[in-house]
Structure 1
Amino acid sequence: MTEIVVNEELKAYIDPMTTDEYEALERSILAEGCRDALVLWGNILVDGHHRYSVCRKHDLPFQTIQNTRFQSMEDVHLWMIEQHLGRRSVSPFQRGVLALRKREILAKRRAQAQEVEEEVRVPAEPPAADAVEPATEAAASPVATAEPLPSREELAREARLSQNQVGLIEKIHKQATEEVVAAVKSGVLSINAAAAVASLPAEEQRAAAEAGEDELKNAAKRVRESRRRPRKESKEAEAVASVDALETVGEHAEPLSVDERQELLALREQVAELTAENEALRKQLADLQG
């Protein structure tokens, strides 16, 4: 049998099983044997790292198959992504991360294909007169074409997520610290909450994570409250401006009509309500921070 090589980068490319999941797999293999073949690329293990670990631990037999379609490590990554996107055991967050990885690989390939197209279109030197025939043959040879990138809608559909979820996961992927990513992977934070915390400076994210689960959730709540407050204050400012405008008109023009007076009173009431609501939100935020 070919000696199997475990590539650590490939092994870590997909999030490993939890301890409970690994133990459940171990019990299943001990009871029924290793039913699914391990997938190899040459002698490199591509799929079945946990099964391979269990079989070696207990000296159990297993089958292997070769995937002969792989031409590069990128092909291997794309195949792994597609395999795991369809598995129920993969969490929504991890499916989103895998979909984004797929887009990054395809974007890199698209850029490379475009470079090849540019090189073919613009030769370094004009062809010599006696090289017309070879040049014609080269132009007729197939050239890699740049395929269009999948849209966010297509990525979301493949990952079984909404477009909004993909956007939030992309934000977490780009802005969140390792501590926040670990919290969303473990289920401590929801995707929405993790995206809110990811908008904070890295130092604040780490401090919240070090303070524990409750502080992480409170940090997400504070971010959401701070986003709501400007909208309330904007409405209050618009109402105040309307009252000021009507009062100014009242000072320099004809006396206000009954309808205009009623509108002015209604606007004043709206300003009072919004002011009180803002004060309540400020007090709530102060209590949370205190």
Structure 2
Amino acid sequence: MTIKINEELRAYIDPLTEDEYTALERSLLAEGCRDALVLWGDLLVDGHNRYSICQKHGIPFNTIQNTTFKSMDDVHLWMIDNHLGRRSVSDFQRGVLALRKKEILATRLAELESQAEKAVEPSEADQSAAQPAGAEAPARPTAPPISREALARAARVSSATLGQIEKIQKTAAPELVSAVKSGVISINAAAAVASLPSEKQVAAVAGGKKELQQLAREVRESKRPPKPEPVPPPADATPDQLEIHRLNQLVAELTEERDQLKKKVQHLTIALAEARRQET
């Protein structure tokens, strides 16, 4: 049968790296194509890389039809869920896919609510006859908004990480996005750098990993609230009052230092978890 390739569909999921493509090619040459390619009619939905390698080397393959698709949105949602279930997908890719799913579901929800309103909306004459003068029209029930927490759980990332990925998508320069995808900079650090003008982002990426990390630290430092000016002790304070004042200041300084260390530990924990996920 003829298999059609939709270039938009092929590019919907991030392409394999050169090393990943080479590894897949070696596997297909050694073991054959064990997993069937997924089709919707004659349109290839899943298995673009396997299909091209099989065509190149004359490797036999099987196909399977997915009869549940009713629209291209159904195809996109299936592709998203399929890739979210794979261990090799990075946290950043998972977040991007989850946000795409959110957009599709939000659009569908808005369309369904619009259709429901049109279906039950009475004519002006009927409405005036059925409703007493001065009475307010009953509020139409609306579906609950899509939960970021639910999307984050599906993507196996934290809600905070998903928010950072959304910020990167909206404000990061393409060079910074590429740096996140390649693991040069963590999601957390990239979200901080993404708040800067595009030219500064590009310059930092050109400067390499250390410059990106340093810039991220500077951005975080700049967003911290200024320390309050210490209140001097009363002019007529007794020695005991002076000592209490000194100890209170010391406690405040140590508390601030502890809070900063907690934030650093949190950033390092997130970065370490991302690195470990990418290794597996």
- TM-score bracket, normalised by the shorter chain, equals 0.7 to 0.9
- 8 Å Cα contact 1:110/1:148 also seen in 2: no
Check if 1:234 corresponds to 2:233.
Answer: no
CA RMSD of aligned residues (A): 2.5
C-alpha change, 1:125 and 1:68, in structure 2 (3 Å) is farther
Residue of 200, 205, 227 corresponding to 1:204? 200
Distance in 2, Cα, partners of 1:194 & 1:203: 14
Residue aligning to 2:244? 263
- 8 Å Cα contact 1:34/1:62 also seen in 2: yes
Check if 1:116 corresponds to 2:112.
Answer: no
Map 1:123-162 onto structure 2 (within 5 A).
123=122, 147-162=143-158
* Structure 1 unmatched ranges of 5 or more: 128-144, 278-290
- 8 Å Cα contact 2:192/2:220 also seen in 1: yes
Secondary structure of the residue aligned to 1:234 is coil
What letter matches 2:32 in structure 1? G
C-alpha change, 1:183 and 1:268, in structure 2 (3 Å) is closer
Residue aligning to 2:173? 177
- 8 Å Cα contact 1:110/1:146 also seen in 2: no
Distance in 1, Cα, partners of 2:170 & 2:42: 34
Residue aligning to 2:21? 22
What letter matches 1:181 in structure 2? V
Check if 1:95 corresponds to 2:94.
Answer: yes
Q: Give the Å deviation of 1:158.
A: 1.0
Distance in 2, Cα, partners of 1:17 & 1:149: 34
Distance in 2, Cα, partners of 1:264 & 1:125: 73
Distance in 2, Cα, partners of 1:76 & 1:162: 26
Q: Give the Å deviation of 1:211.
A: 3.0
Residue aligning to 2:217? 221
Residue aligning to 1:32? 31
The Cα offsets for residues 63-86 of structure 1, whole Å up to 9 and x where unpaired, read as 111111111111000000000000
Secondary structure of the residue aligned to 2:217 is helix
Q: Give the Å deviation of 1:269.
A: 6.9
The Cα offsets for residues 121-146 of structure 1, whole Å up to 9 and x where unpaired, read as 2246658xxxxxxxxxxxxxxxxx97
- 8 Å Cα contact 1:93/1:191 also seen in 2: yes
TM-score (norm. length: structure 2): 0.78
Secondary structure of the residue aligned to 1:199 is coil
Secondary structure of the residue aligned to 2:45 is strand
Distance in 1, Cα, partners of 2:25 & 2:145: 40
- 8 Å Cα contact 1:194/1:220 also seen in 2: yes
Compare 258-267 and 182-191 and name the one that shifted more: 258-267
C-alpha change, 1:15 and 1:261, in structure 2 (3 Å) is same
What letter matches 1:179 in structure 2? E
How many pairs does the alignment contain?
241
Q: Give the Å deviation of 1:264.
A: 3.9
The Cα offsets for residues 219-253 of structure 1, whole Å up to 9 and x where unpaired, read as 212212323xx44x324x2xx2x32xx53xx5xxx
C-alpha change, 1:91 and 1:234, in structure 2 (3 Å) is same
Map 1:14-93 onto structure 2 (within 5 A).
14-93=13-92
- 8 Å Cα contact 2:106/2:146 also seen in 1: no
Q: Give the Å deviation of 1:258.
A: 4.8
Determine which structure has greater relative contact order: mean sequence separation of CA pairs < 8 Å that are 6+ residues apart, divided by chain length. Answer: 2
- 8 Å Cα contact 1:93/1:185 also seen in 2: yes
Q: Give the Å deviation of 1:166.
A: 1.3
Compare 17-26 and 145-154 and name the one that shifted more: 145-154
Distance in 1, Cα, partners of 2:142 & 2:66: 25
Q: Give the Å deviation of 1:214.
A: 3.1
Name which one, 1 or 2, has greater alpha-carbon Rg: 1
Compare 150-159 and 259-268 and name the one that shifted more: 259-268
What letter matches 1:185 in structure 2? K
Distance in 2, Cα, partners of 1:265 & 1:211: 44
- 8 Å Cα contact 1:197/1:223 also seen in 2: yes
C-alpha change, 1:66 and 1:125, in structure 2 (3 Å) is farther
